[in-house]
């Protein structure tokens, strides 16, 4: 029985690649190769990692103008983006993520909620690399207490890590993101989360920002972490959290950061996240 469906419009150029990727995640692809809309049906309950996965695929395939829709039942109206499947979830002792169209969950009054309206921007918060990074950011601020903190988020995507830092007490957070659409979305998400006065986003590379930061975070591909190692080491004063490394390749990536001390290493679902200190 179909549990939910995903539709992508305007992705003709990458249709076969998307179909192959979705089938690898258990989807059944409907329609033929000539259909304008790609429809994927899933018999398992929604896995929120798909939000990050689809966003990354569309970005990597150069399909940023493609439109995503979801629905829970065949025959039900399609809902824009991931509205049909995105539900609130907890990511660390003090942090949770909730979509903008759902009320904040009650209960723990000390929990800070990152409020998102995800479109195609990479970063719905459910991917193991994001969850692990959020956990380390939470522990970093628990250790730091009320000390003034400036944070740089490299590859900030939809702003999840940057917003988390602001919610946990950072006085200023700067996001740097190559994708201008994701950069725009991060600003909107910061406003939804109530931290727009402490967050600024720059579309481009690390050259867009100057100075050093108490904490630098980067959740990007392992190859990018290796290429950016000199710049990330120079920017952190003294803490750096890096994520996005496949566990099988993490040691090779971390070799580029040997000048830093390893504070904590997290292995999660085949991915590695590291907290380093100069």
Same structural domain, 62 and 91: no
Shared domain check, 139 and 51? no
Task: Give the domain-ending residue among 13, 43, 73.
Answer: 73
Do 115 and 18 lie in one domain? The reply is: no
Digit-by-digit pLDDT tens for the chain (278 residues) are 899 999 999 888 888 899 999 999 899 998 655 567 899 999 999 888 887 788 778 877 888 788 899 999 888 999 988 888 888 999 999 999 999 988 888 777 789 999 998 665 556 788 899 999 999 999 999 999 888 999 999 999 889 999 999 999 999 999 999 988 889 999 999 999 999 999 999 999 988 888 999 999 999 999 999 999 999 999 999 999 999 999 999 999 999 999 999 999 999 999 999 999 99
- Asked if residue 189 and residue 115 are part of one domain, the reply reads yes
* Residue 120 belongs to a domain: yes
Residues 244 and 220 in one domain: yes
Q: The domain containing residue 48 runs over which residues?
A: 3-73
Number of domains in the chain: 2
Reported pTM = 0.89
Q: Of 51, 73, 95, which residue is a domain's last?
A: 73
If DSSP codes are grouped into helix, strand and coil, which group holds residue 264? strand
Residues 217, 101, single domain; the answer is yes
């Amino acid at each position: 029985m179909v549990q939910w469906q995903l539709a992508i419009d305007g992705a003709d150029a990458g249709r076969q690649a998307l179909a192959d990727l979705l089938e690898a995640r258990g989807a059944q692809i409907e329609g033929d190769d000539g259909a304008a809309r790609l429809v994927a049906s899933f018999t398992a309950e929604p896995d929120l990692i798909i939000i990050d996965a689809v966003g990354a695929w569309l970005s990597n395939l150069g399909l940023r103008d493609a439109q995503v829709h979801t629905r829970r039942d065949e025959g039900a109206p399609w809902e824009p983006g991931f509205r049909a499947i995105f539900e609130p979830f907890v990511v660390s002792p003090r942090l949770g993520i909730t979509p903008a169209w759902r009320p904040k969950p009650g209960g723990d009054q000390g929990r800070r909620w990152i409020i998102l309206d995800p479109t195609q921007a990479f970063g719905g918060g459910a991917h193991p690399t994001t969850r692990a990074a959020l956990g380390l950011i939470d522990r970093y601020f628990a250790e730091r207490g009320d000390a003034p903190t400036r944070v740089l988020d490299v590859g900030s995507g939809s702003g999840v890590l940057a917003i988390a830092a602001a919610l946990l007490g950072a006085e200023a957070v700067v996001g740097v993101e190559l994708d201008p659409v994701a950069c725009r979305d991060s600003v909107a998400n910061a406003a939804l989360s109530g931290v727009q006065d402490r967050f600024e986003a720059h579309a481009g590379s690390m050259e867009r920002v100057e100075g050093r930061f108490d904490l630098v975070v980067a959740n990007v591909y392992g190859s990018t972490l290796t290429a950016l190692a000199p710049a990330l080491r120079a920017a952190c004063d003294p803490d750096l959290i890096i994520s996005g490394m496949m566990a099988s390749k993490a040691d090779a990536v971390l070799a580029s950061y040997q000048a830093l001390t390893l504070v904590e290493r997290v292995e999660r679902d085949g991915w590695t996240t590291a907290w380093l200190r100069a």
